């Protein structure tokens, strides 16, 4: 899917953007986000997308599903997302997060950034 937009989703940040009790079951919350991404894709985007959900901490080990790849960060999720953006080369990348420092870091590498609302519709 090299020609598709790579959409890297900061699972912890997107899940944490709505106080719906996610903290009681972080893995379950990440799985619900994964399933919503698989069903809805990137609302408002007409082209092909390659969705990569980055999980960390208690959510590590969430399995991929058709339409959503999952990367378990070995340490910091933010650092892992920066590495993924750097490894994408010239491929167009959109990072979904509200984390200001992460937004700054990935934008410096050429990625576009949007907030959690883009995938929480």
Per-residue pLDDT tens over the stretch 67-114: 999 999 998 889 999 999 999 999 999 999 999 999 999 999 999 999
Task: Judge contact between 93 and 111, C-beta under 8 A.
Answer: yes
Confidence at residue 7, expressed as pLDDT on a 0 to 100 scale: 96
Query: Using CA atoms in the order 79, 116, 90, 85, what is the torsion angle rounded to 10 degrees?
Result: 10
DSSP-derived 3-state class of residue 78: helix
Confidence at residue 38, expressed as pLDDT on a 0 to 100 scale: 95
Task: Judge contact between 93 and 110, C-beta under 8 A.
Answer: yes
Give start and end residues of each alpha helix (H) in the chain.
11-15, 26-40, 77-87, 100-108
Tell me the Cα Rg of the chain: 13
Q: Which of 1-5, 61-65, 108-112 has the lowest mean pLDDT?
A: 1-5
pTM score over 0.75: yes
Task: Judge contact between 49 and 4, C-beta under 8 A.
Answer: yes
Task: Judge contact between 120 and 14, C-beta under 8 A.
Answer: yes
Q: Mean pLDDT in the chain?
A: 91
């Amino acid at each position: 899917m090299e020609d598709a937009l790579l959409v890297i989703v900061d699972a912890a940040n997107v899940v944490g953007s709505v106080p719906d009790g996610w903290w009681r079951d972080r893995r379950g919350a990440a799985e619900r986000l994964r399933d919503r991404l698989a069903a809805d894709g990137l609302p408002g985007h007409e082209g092909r997308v390659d969705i990569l959900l980055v999980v960390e901490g208690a959510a590590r080990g969430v399995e991929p599903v058709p339409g959503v790849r999952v990367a378990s960060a070995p340490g910091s999720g933010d650092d892992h997302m920066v590495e993924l953006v750097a490894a994408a080369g010239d491929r167009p990348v959109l990072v979904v997060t509200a984390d200001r420092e992460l937004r700054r870091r990935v934008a410096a590498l050429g990625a576009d950034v949007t907030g959690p609302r883009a995938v929480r519709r």
